[in-house]
Every structure is written in C-alpha cells, then in structure tokens.
Amino acid sequence: SYELTQPPSVSVSPGQTARITCSGDALSKQYAYWYQQKSGQAPVLVIYKDSERPSGIPERFSGSSSGTTVTLTISGVQAEDEADYYCQSADSTGSYLVFGGGAKLTVL
Amino acid sequence: QLQLQESGSGLVKPSQTLSLTCAVSGGSISSGDYSWSWIRQPPGKGLEWIGYIYHSGSTYYNLSLKSRVTMSVDKSKNQFSLRLSSVTAADTAVYYCARVVIVVANRWFDPWGQGTLVTVSS
C-alpha cells in the first residue's frame, strides 16, 4: 500500500506565509497535486506536477518537492484561503491514485 | 468549459446497491488523454479515490473497494456511472465525479462535479 501524510492543521495570521507538507515514499517517484476545498464546496486543483499552477490560481500559491516530501506554500495568506488542502499522488505505476488525509488551514 | 453533474439515489438501504451517474457537458467523454473518476468524502472526513474509467471501458479501482465497485461509460449520452454493491453505513458520503487529466504516466483531477450526498440508512 502507499500513503500520504499531512499535518491535520496549520494556522497563520493574514499576510504571513503558510506551508503545508505532504510526505510519502511514492513522492520520490511520482508528482504531487494539491487541491483546495472550501467549506461545502467541491475541491479545486491549485497545483499540479509538484509546482505548476493552473490558470486562474493566484500567484501566491506555489509548490515544491524534496525527496519524499512536497510542500504547498501560500504567500501573503488571505482570509479567503481558509480551507482544507489535500495532496494527491499515485503508486509507482501511476495507475492507482491516493489522497493525503487533508490539512485544515486556519487564518487567524 | 467542461462541467460535470452527479445524479442518483440520495438514500440507499444497507446491503443494497448505490447507483450514481455523472453527466459531462462542454466536452466529449471520448476525448483522448482523459479518464473519468469517482471520489468520495464521508461527512467530516477526507477524500477517498474510488476508481476511474476510460472511454474504452477500461477501469482501475481502489483495491480496498474493488470487489464492490463497477464503473461504466455511455458515450452516446456523454456520461459515466458508478455502482457500489452491498453498502453499509460506512459508505455514507458525498460522492464526486471528476475528469482525470493524463500526461504520460501522471494523473490528476480537474475539474470536479459539485458532489452528491448519498446516505445509507434503513
């Protein structure tokens, strides 16, 4: 089996930088993807292939990778960024997909 | 702009089969380099990938659910479906459909449907 581990919660004040990590053995071989899920809404892709940002996603969202850990960074956090964030990757074949447990970002 | 919309039974009795359909609009389900997926989220919990299907009908299922899951695609209606058998209360969740973007061996979900709540209860 393969798992992705995220911290359950991250808290930052407005204007600060939030960093949300995701770790797992698969990440040394597979890309990671990040989704933002606001309360009562469907998830939205914010980062793909570790560090690429889809069109329409603010520049304050960025991603990075190092070994078996990937990090979603939100610079200059705004109140509207308060949400659950999920990482996603795949097994070594790329065919079987998995989500991390999610991290709740609280903007103080 | 591609849109996905889930529909189906919102209340299912234990031991019965859950059935959902995802209607795709704004694009063809037969487009290359994509597959079509179901993901669920129990109330207050995280996301769980259920499986995905290609327009050819080939499928990949989460191994933890494989024995109970069947996915199908109807190209004439531009939609795909999920059946989950022998449901229990643990299957109560919001069920999302999503397009799977495929680039080489990499897969991610974009966009997602709005989700539909399925409750398993007698």
- Share the mean pLDDT of chain B: 96
Q: Cβ of B90: how many Cβ atoms within 10 Å?
A: 8
Give me the sign of the Cα torsion angle A18, A22, A28, A33.
Answer: negative
Residue labelled with tokens 């603010």: A58
What's residue A66's pLDDT? 96
Summarize pLDDT for A63-101 with one digit per residue, the tens: 999 999 999 999 999 999 999 999 999 998 899 999 999
| pLDDT beyond 70 at B66 | yes
- Please list every residue in chain B whose beta carbon sits closer than 8 Å to the beta carbon of residue A44: 111-112
H or E segment to which residue B25 belongs:
strand B18-25
Probe site for chain B from A97, A98, A99, A104 (most B CB atoms < 10 A) = A97
Q: Which two tokens stand for residue A4?
A: 């992705």
- Please list every residue in chain A whose beta carbon sits closer than 8 Å to the beta carbon of residue B62: 96
Mean pLDDT of B37-48: 98
Residue A88 contacts B, CB cutoff 8 Å:
yes
Instruction: Test A102 with B47 for CB contact under 8 angstroms.
Output: yes
Is A102 in contact with A86 (CB distance < 8 Å)?
yes
What's residue A105's pLDDT? 98
- Please list every residue in chain B whose beta carbon sits closer than 8 Å to the beta carbon of residue A101: 46
Summarize pLDDT for A37-52 with one digit per residue, the tens: 999 999 999 999 999 9
Is A37 in contact with A85 (CB distance < 8 Å)?
yes
Mean pLDDT of B31-55: 95
What's residue A52's pLDDT? 98
pLDDT-based confidence at residue A10 (cuts at 50, 70, 90): very high
Of B37, B9, B8, B21, the residue nearest B78 (C-alpha): B21
What's residue B32's pLDDT? 79
Instruction: Give me the residues paired with residue A5 across strands.
Output: A23
What's residue B116's pLDDT? 98
Return the higher-pLDDT residue of A33 and A1.
A33
Q: Which residues of B touch A (CB under 8 A)?
A: 37, 39, 46-49, 52, 60, 62-63, 96, 101, 103, 105-115
| pLDDT beyond 80 at A1 | no
The share of chain B scoring above pLDDT 70, in percent, equals: 100
For residue A93, give the chain B residue with the closest CA: B105
- How far is residue B97's CA from residue B50's CA, in Å, rounded to a whole number? 10
pLDDT-based confidence at residue A2 (cuts at 50, 70, 90): confident
